[in-house]
Every structure is written in C-alpha cells, then in structure tokens.
Amino acid sequence: MKMRKIVLSLLGLLTLPSFLAAQEAAGELNAGDTAWIIAATTLVMIMTPAGLALFYGGLARSKNLLNTIAMSVGGYIVAGLIWVIIGYSIAFGGDIGGIIGFDGLFLTNIAVDHVSEGKTIPDILFVVFQLTFAGITLALVSGSLIERLKFSTWLIFGAIWVIVVYAPIAHWVWGGGFLGSDGVLDFAGGTVVHINAGVAGLVIALLLGKRADYGKAIFPSSVSFTVLGAVLLWFGWFGFNGGSQLAADGIAANAVLVTNTAASAAALAWILIEYATYKKFTLVGLASGIVAGLVAITPAAGFVDAVGSLVIGIVAGIVSFYAVNFLKKALKYDDSLDVFGVHAIAGIWGAIATGIFANPAVNEAGTGLLYGNPGQVLVQIEGIVVTIIYTAIATAIVFKLASLITGGARVSAEVESQGLDETEHGERAFNLR
C-alpha cells in the first residue's frame, strides 16, 4: 500500500507540468464580454428568419412569398443543425495542414464552462455565435434561386454545402487555416459570408436556368416587407460586426459606428444615382443600398475609422447599383434577388477596401495601403480569388449531387407558373376570403 502511494505521488509530479500548462492555456471569463456576445448572438440570429426572410420575401412575387421566406428559415435551421453535428469542428477544430479542422462530432469535446486561451467568453458561446453566421450565409444563397427550385433540393443542398463549402472557407480565414496565416483580413465575413454566398448563388442560378418569364416585368409582393427586412438586417448587423470582436471594447464600439456610417452612405449613394438614372427614389433602391453598405463594411469593420467607412459605403452603393442595373442585364443571368450584384460585388469591394483603409490606430492587427502596407491589398486579393474559385467549383458539385438525390432540382413549368407557395407548401401568403 505504501509503495502504491509513492508511485501515485511520483506520477502526480510527472503530470503536474502538463496540468499547469492546461490551466495556463485556458482564458479567463469576462462577464461583460460574455453578456455582450450573448446579446450579439441574438441580434445576428434575428437577421435570418426575420430580417432576411422579410427582405427577400417582399421582393418575391406574391405567389412565391411563403416559399421565399421558407428558404431563409429552412436554411437557418439546416445550417444550425449541421453546425452542431460537424460544421463547427471542421471550421474551428484542430488544424490539419491549413486546409481543414476536425475535433470530432456533436461538440462532445467542448466543456460548458471552458474558455480558450486568448478568449474571454465560453467556447460554447463562440460556437453558437458562429452558428448564426453559417445560417445567414446559406440563407443568402437562396435569393438567387427563388421561384424555381424544389424545397427538398434546397434543404439537402444546404446541409451538404455547409459541410463542403462554408465550413472549410471559415477555417481557412478564421479557424487557423492558410488564408488567415497568410494575413487575410476579414473581420466579420466579407469573404467567408458575402463573396461566398454571392458566388454560390450565381453558380446555381446559371445551372438552374432562367425563370420562364424572365425579362418580363416582375413586381415585388411587398416593398414594405422589403424595407422592414432591410432595417431588421441593419439592426442585427450591429451584432454581426460589433460582436465579431468577441469583446465589449473600443474596437467593438468602432465596428458599430462604421457599420452605421457605411450603410447610410451606401443607401444615399444608391438612391442619388438611381434618381439621376431613372428620375425616381425607390424604396427598393434605398433598402438595397443599405444592404450593400452593410456588406462592404463587414470585412473592414474592426480595422477602419469613420472616414474609411464613409468611402467604403459610397463606393459600395455605386458599384452595387451598376452591377444590379447594368451588369446583370448585359450578361443576362437570372439572379432573382441580386445576391451576386449586392453581396459578391460589395463583398469584393469591401475586402479590397480593407487592404486599403485598415488603420493600425483603430486595430493594430491590420495595416493597409494608406498606412504604409501596400502588400495588404495583394493579400486581400488572394483571399478573394481563392474563395471565388473554390466556392464556384464546390458549389456546382454539391448542387449536382443534391439534384440527383431529389430527382432534379427545378420545379415543373406548371408549378412555376402556379407559384411555389401552394404547390410546395399548400398555403397562401394572403387569404382575402
């Protein structure tokens, strides 16, 4: 018995250094930071099944309004479940060659009260905060596909896409992968969320083909819904960008300020150009400009000052307006709700602008061209190009697979003519009797 105690004591001494190292590797929970990220998570959550659903639903025709909302809500649900099962592990698990992460399934290795080194919030809170990003990214893709895609295909595609496309790109940029190691700056999702979603939407729109009545006048079901949705997105975006600092500090506060500034500047730029072109100030244009500005500032929010955000917003409103009103018509692709024209184009501009305007006085983690680091622009372009190429190829493969599983992705001509609300869901958005 005495010898057994001695052996156990020696083993304890041998394992003490690793135990102490484990203790040192853990961060220290900060109640203020934790409370802010819980609040930010709820803000980001409401962006998808409320804000985006209304924004997209209002732009769809009345016969497809419910189906369009269902694609946002269903996308959020599917992405959230996949994130818990395996998505988070791929994105933020132990890095494997800079390409992918993996720490197992179902978050079984994450203790409820554990705080990782360098963080001040529980790991489990970081999981659910990032879950909301996966959910909105998938839901954004749906805007390119509405009015002609089977709902069953959408759900299966979404589940596979989060695993094959979203989670790996999130790992490359945020989870210890090669793009982050190369120095790509993406504070809250310019590449991971917006370029990714915009390119994926365009690819599927091209594979699906144009709607039967493409080119004819197509009127939104409710501009009021669209504006309300845009404002809800704006509201939630304070959590989207401000929360991405993962702390309640000055950088988070600056992110909220520049988010508001860029959205306002882009909206004003959009409607002024719209008036100069069409002699109308449309509310759809106002709402689209708001979203374009929010998209463009997303990668830069934690790195730029108010002046930088003003320029980023103005340019975002201009380039997205021309992409939606002229580029789309010139290339004749049917991106139903202009996901590519707003999210990909404004996202590309925002990623490049981050490399130009990143101000070390705001955040020492990023220095752009205007502050003596022209090479940052090239690094940003690397992130953009890699994201576009991978997303385009992988999305096409995933979509083809989902189409095979469901016996074809596109609804019949009869269903498309009647509308997907009644045929896919057996319901109407508005019952007047």
Distance CA 142, CA 230 (A): 16
Q: Where are the domains of the chain?
A: 29-425
pLDDT at 4: 45
Q: Which residues of the chain have pLDDT under 70?
A: 1-25, 433
pLDDT at 433: 65
List phi, psi (to 5°) of 200: -60, -45
pLDDT at 25: 57
Distance CA 99, CA 91 (A): 10
Distance CA 433, CA 426 (A): 16
pLDDT at 216: 86
Closest CA to 283 of 225, 337, 340: 225
pLDDT at 83: 98
pLDDT at 21: 36
pLDDT at 88: 98
Distance CA 374, CA 367 (A): 9
Where are the alpha helices (H) located in 26-166, listed in sequence order? 31-46, 53-59, 65-82, 88-92, 123-141, 151-161
Of the options 3.30.70.20, 3.30.70.260, 3.30.310.50, 1.10.3430.10, the CATH number for the domain spanning 29-425:
1.10.3430.10
Distance of CA 159 to the CA centre of its chain: 16
pLDDT at 16: 34
pTM of the model: 0.93
- CA-only gyration radius of the chain, Å: 23
List phi, psi (to 5°) of 100: -150, 155
pLDDT, tens digit (0-9, with 9 covering 90-100), for 108-136: 999 999 999 999 999 999 999 999 999 99
